[in-house]
């Protein structure tokens, strides 16, 4: 590890109970990092600026992994755009302002591939940021994340702190949300197919036409990418993190049907929104640092479904 990530360096994982934060925490623990700082949302509301500042002052982290966010799929974003915008802006401002005040030496802010314009050239390079209109169905969330990216870049330029940002593609894995209304497409479909089998339903309905193409990265691969970036990257340009491969949502639905054992009919509902037509990331920058994803989609789906079966009572 580089100097900022010795095994005794205090590292604060913000959002450690979520999909991304829990994966980063697992990996850091496996690597033997002994001073991991965490707080649940009940213990620390990151929207509270004073509480966040006091928490960081008390624990004095030397690295902050900013994985805390309010997240959701198309339905959740469409239902509550003001809440997605407000909550994410407040979380980011509280955390980044407190870390800046305390001059935390190293911080990794996690954005999202939804920050890119809806119709930009594919695969999407980092330079496409702020070059066109956003996808309307997740505009509020995207604007909040863009603000975080600009915040990190501004702190670098004004204060000289080596903070960095990453833009992950669509993620999945253990500790995801699996409810149909709030979840992203992959976990929502996984639960739909599982419940169809349990209820004996002969069909599963999938939102949209099935034609949009999506890229999916297992969250454990993202965790490894985060450590690679903290160890090897220092620049004000954000970095894409993905597999460099995508597939139509219709093919994803077939894969999930096979994973769960569903043998009925898959129906698409074109009256529901498709979202962005395609969202494939150019991952040349992070691959140049030596990182590669290791978990294929079929194996990742099987492991995620196994986790869901063992944790259905909390997978909401």
Contact 109, 66 (CB under 8 A): yes
Q: In what order do the strands lie in the sheet with 247-248?
A: 247-248, 213-214, 278-279
- Find all residues with CB under 8 Å of 289, minimum gap 6, and list them: 228, 229, 232, 233
Please indicate if the annotation marks 170 as binding a ligand. Answer: yes
Comparing 75-84, 91-100, 111-120, 204-213, the range with the smallest average pLDDT is 75-84
Comparing 1-10, 55-64, 187-196, 241-250, the range with the smallest average pLDDT is 1-10
Q: What is the pTM of this model?
A: 0.94
pLDDT over 80 at 244, yes or no? yes
Q: How confident is the model at residue 179, as a pLDDT?
A: 78
- Give the residue from 113, 300, 117, 142 showing the smallest Cα distance to 221: 300
Grouping H, G, I as helix, E, B as strand and the rest as coil, residue 241 is: strand
Q: How confident is the model at residue 201, as a pLDDT?
A: 96
How does pLDDT run across 168-221, given as a tens digit for each residue?
A: 999 999 999 897 666 788 999 999 999 999 999 999 999 999 999 999 999 999
Question: How much is the average pLDDT of 12-18?
Answer: 97
How does pLDDT run across 120-155, given as a tens digit for each residue?
A: 999 999 999 999 999 998 899 999 999 999 999 999
d(CA 53, CA 125): 35
pLDDT over 70 at 259, yes or no? yes
How does pLDDT run across 25-44, given as a tens digit for each residue?
A: 999 999 999 999 999 999 99
Q: One of 12, 141, 233, 308 is an active-site residue; which one?
A: 141
- Give the residue from 222, 214, 225, 217 showing the smallest Cα distance to 280: 214
Q: E strand or H helix at 251, and its extent?
A: helix 249-260
Contact 37, 11 (CB under 8 A): yes
d(CA 191, CA 309): 10
DSSP readout, 155-219?
HHHHH----EEEEE-EEESTT----TTTS-HHHHHHHHHHHHHHHT-SEEEEES-S--EE-EEEH
pLDDT over 60 at 4, yes or no? no
Please indicate if the annotation marks 214 as binding a ligand. Answer: yes
Task: Pick 197 or 4 by higher pLDDT.
Answer: 197
Which one of 3.40.1280.10, 3.40.50.720, 3.40.190.10, 3.90.1260.10 gives the CATH number of domain 3-177+216-245+280-296? 3.40.50.720
pLDDT over 70 at 276, yes or no? yes
* Dihedral pair phi/psi, residue 14, rounded to 5°: -80, 125
Q: How many residues does the chain have?
A: 316
Please indicate if the annotation marks 86 as binding a ligand. Answer: no
Please indicate if the annotation marks 168 as binding a ligand. Answer: yes
Q: How confident is the model at residue 159, as a pLDDT?
A: 98
Mean pLDDT over the full length of the chain:
94
Q: How confident is the model at residue 7, as a pLDDT?
A: 87
pLDDT over 70 at 1, yes or no? no
- Give the residue from 214, 204, 235, 192 showing the smallest Cα distance to 281: 214
Please indicate if the annotation marks 20 as binding a ligand. Answer: yes
In the residue annotation, 172 being an active-site residue is answered as: no
Please indicate if the annotation marks 132 as binding a ligand. Answer: no
Neighbours of 49 (CB within 10 A): 15
Ordered by start, the domain boundaries in the chain are 3-177+216-245+280-296
Count of H-run helices and E-run strands, the chain? 10, 13
Show the CA angle centred on residue 160, arms to residues 155 and 163, nearest 5°.
60
Q: How confident is the model at residue 2, as a pLDDT?
A: 45
- Find all residues with CB under 8 Å of 83, minimum gap 6, and list them: 70
């Amino acid at each position: 590890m580089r100097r900022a990530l010795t095994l005794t360096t205090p590292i604060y994982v913000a959002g450690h109970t979520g999909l991304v934060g829990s994966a980063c925490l697992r990996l850091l623990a496996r690597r033997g990092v002994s001073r991991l700082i965490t707080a649940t949302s009940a213990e620390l509301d990151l929207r509270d600026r004073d509480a966040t500042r006091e928490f960081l002052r008390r624990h004095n982290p030397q690295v902050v992994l900013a994985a805390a966010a309010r997240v959701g799929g198309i339905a959740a974003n469409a239902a509550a755009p003001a809440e997605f915008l407000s909550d994410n802006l407040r979380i980011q401002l509280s955390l980044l302002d407190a870390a800046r005040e305390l001059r935390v030496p190293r911080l990794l802010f996690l954005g999202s591939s939804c920050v890119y314009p809806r119709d930009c050239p594919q695969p999407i390079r980092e330079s496409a940021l702020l070059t066109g209109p956003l996808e309307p169905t997740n505009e509020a969330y995207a604007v909040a994340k863009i603000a975080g990216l600009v915040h990190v870049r501004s702190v670098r330029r004004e204060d000289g702190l080596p903070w960095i940002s990453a833009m992950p593609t669509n993620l999945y894995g253990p500790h995801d949300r699996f409810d149909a209304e709030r979840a992203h497409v992959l976990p929502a479909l996984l639960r739909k197919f599982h419940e169809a089998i349990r209820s004996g339903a002969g069909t599963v309905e999938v939102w949209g036409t099935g034609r949009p193409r999506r890229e999916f990265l297992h969250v454990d691969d993202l965790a490894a990418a985060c450590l690679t970036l903290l160890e090897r990257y220092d620049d004000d340009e954000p970095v894409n993190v993905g597999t460099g491969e995508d597939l139509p949502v219709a093919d994803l639905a077939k894969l999930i049907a096979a994973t769960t054992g569903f043998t009925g009919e898959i129906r698409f509902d074109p009256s529901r929104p498709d979202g962005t037509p395609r969202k494939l990331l150019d991952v040349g920058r992070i691959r140049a640092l030596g990182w590669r994803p290791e978990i294929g989609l079929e194996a990742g789906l099987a492991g995620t479904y196994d986790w869901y079966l063992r944790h259905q009572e909390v997978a909401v």
